[in-house]
Amino acid sequence: MSGNRYYSNHHSVDQSDRAVPRNLRQTGDADIDLVISTRTRKSPFWHFSVEEGCYEAAVYNHMYHPRSYIDPEDGGSEAEYDLLANHVALWDIAVERQIRVKGPDAEAFVDFVTTRDATDIEPVRGEYAICCNEDDGILNDFVLLRPDDDEFWFPIADSDLLQWLQGVTVGNDFEVKIDEIDVSPMQVQGPKSPGVIESLIDDAVEDVPYYGLLEATINDVPVLVSQTRFSGEAGFEIYVREATTNAEAVWNPVLETVKDHGGAAAPVNGRRRIAAGILSFGQDMDHETSPFQVNLGYRIPDDKETDYIGKAELERQKEAVENGEFPFTHKLVGLKMAGEPILEWASDFWLISDPETGDECGYLTSAGWNPDLETNIGLGFVPAAKLQAATDLPLDDSIYDADLDLEFEVNSPDEHAEEPGEPVYATVAKVPFKESANPSAREQAKIHDRGEMEE
């Protein structure tokens, strides 16, 4: 995909339920360098990532985010996957900027801006949560932390949530202070991660329950440790306090311990998180995406008595979906795809076609080769009407557990096609695609919430 030509934005793909359509022009990779400047923030760990071989980066939350470390000739993304799946990897995720809500009304404020009941979140715990706008769009998703009675942290995905949260307080009577704090997280991911954590802190891993928080020290620096992950593998997050000052004091012993356990610094593994059914904000969903489109309908409660932003529209949509309607044009599904292995980050939303008509009807949001399944897998938006015609199930979260005999075609670049210029076949698959060593944050939250409903 090169040359001096413009590419259609593919108006044949129905995006009538969006104010700003996704840019579906298939422009391919560009032979350009990422300019490193002072306009974009460097994380406290950025220089360590460079020292460990980071050669590709993206911009996330106005910060540089490491995306590739191991050179292709040394195994590239396949070697990075092996580190995560079979050993242990250290991820620099300082791009998850920490927004703190603190004050006497912190709980009431968080209850108002998230769909979940904040009163159920105990101190020194975390819970998966989402923020929506009044029109049902997802503004952010995160594992909401409550380190103290009157304090919550939002480790945000890629969006300017700080400004929105501060804006919500205008004209309201919440007695809270909302600011960004100098706390940066790193993740230790993989089957050997419990051993790494036990080597770093005095407490046993059993003292850090899933979504639990533990105050600890590493090299005399106070940190907050949680058992959460963005991989589906066993994993922990280490939140470094006063990270601008303490970066070296924590990163160095953590990296040394990871290497002692056969691991290395590595990027966030997009292909593993797809297999776990974990969504990426900005790719798989955004502020014009309804939770009911993307396997997050379970996060819209039936019994939350207090008001929250988006409640009226979300409850309306919940009722509509339960009655067999679908108040959206497209729904996200899992796809198993033929073709050559997809080992690099996709630069476009690849188009999805109807194999019966050949018409372009949707688009892929995330894709990658999974060595464990020995196939390409992906997440993509397909027409809700076509999906509904293939099943008697409502288009709620239960569709992700269903066996559907439904095929599409994915118009991938020639390097991934079986035949140049021809699309590859894709079949709708269950999500998550494979069992995780530990369920993903969303799947664990579903299990937890379903258990509460059955009690």
**pLDDT tens digits for range 273-294:** 999 999 999 999 999 999 999 9
pLDDT band at 66 (very low <50, low <70, confident <90, very high): very high
CA distances from 444 to 157, 234, 276, 451 (A): 19, 13, 11, 11
Tell me 393's DSSP state. S
pLDDT at position 441 over 70 = no
pLDDT at position 439 over 80 = no
Residue 60: both structure tokens together = 């996330």
Provide the pLDDT for residue 449. Answer: 52
Residue 278: both structure tokens together = 């974990």
Provide the pLDDT for residue 9. Answer: 84
DSSP element (H, E) containing 82: helix 76-86
Provide the pLDDT for residue 203. Answer: 76
Q: Give the global pTM.
A: 0.93
Hey, what amino acid is at 345? W
Provide the pLDDT for residue 1. Answer: 40
Provide the pLDDT for residue 6. Answer: 58
pLDDT at position 2 over 80 = no
Provide the pLDDT for residue 211. Answer: 87
Q: Which residue has the tokens 């409640």?
A: 311
Provide the pLDDT for residue 210. Answer: 85
Provide the pLDDT for residue 454. Answer: 40
**What average pLDDT does this structure show over 38-57?**
96
Spatial distance between the Cα atoms of 266 and 148, rounded to a whole number of angstroms = 32
Provide the pLDDT for residue 438. Answer: 61
Provide the pLDDT for residue 169. Answer: 96
* Upstream peptide bond of 432 is cis (omega within 30 degrees of 0): yes
Which of the pair, 7 or 376, is modelled with greater confidence?
376
In 69-124, which ranges are E strands? 89-92, 98-102
Provide the pLDDT for residue 206. Answer: 78
When the pLDDT of each residue in the chain is averaged and rounded to a whole number, the result is 92
pLDDT at position 433 over 70 = yes
Provide the pLDDT for residue 229. Answer: 73
**What average pLDDT does this structure show over 373-398?**
96
pLDDT at position 422 over 80 = yes
392 CB-contact burial (10 Å; exposed 0-12 / middle 13-18 / buried 19+): exposed
Provide the pLDDT for residue 293. Answer: 97
Residue 190: both structure tokens together = 């993989």
pLDDT at position 450 over 60 = no
Provide the pLDDT for residue 444. Answer: 58
**What average pLDDT does this structure show over 38-59?**
96
pLDDT at position 452 over 80 = no
Which of the pair, 264 or 234, is modelled with greater confidence?
264
pLDDT at position 410 over 60 = yes
**What average pLDDT does this structure show over 336-359?**
95
Which of the pair, 233 or 8, is modelled with greater confidence?
233
pLDDT at position 423 over 90 = yes
Q: Of all residues in the chain, what percent carry a pLDDT higher than 70?
A: 94
pLDDT at position 98 over 90 = yes
DSSP element (H, E) containing 258: helix 243-260
**What average pLDDT does this structure show over 234-259?**
97
Angle, helices 106-113/161-169, rounded to nearest 10 degrees:
120
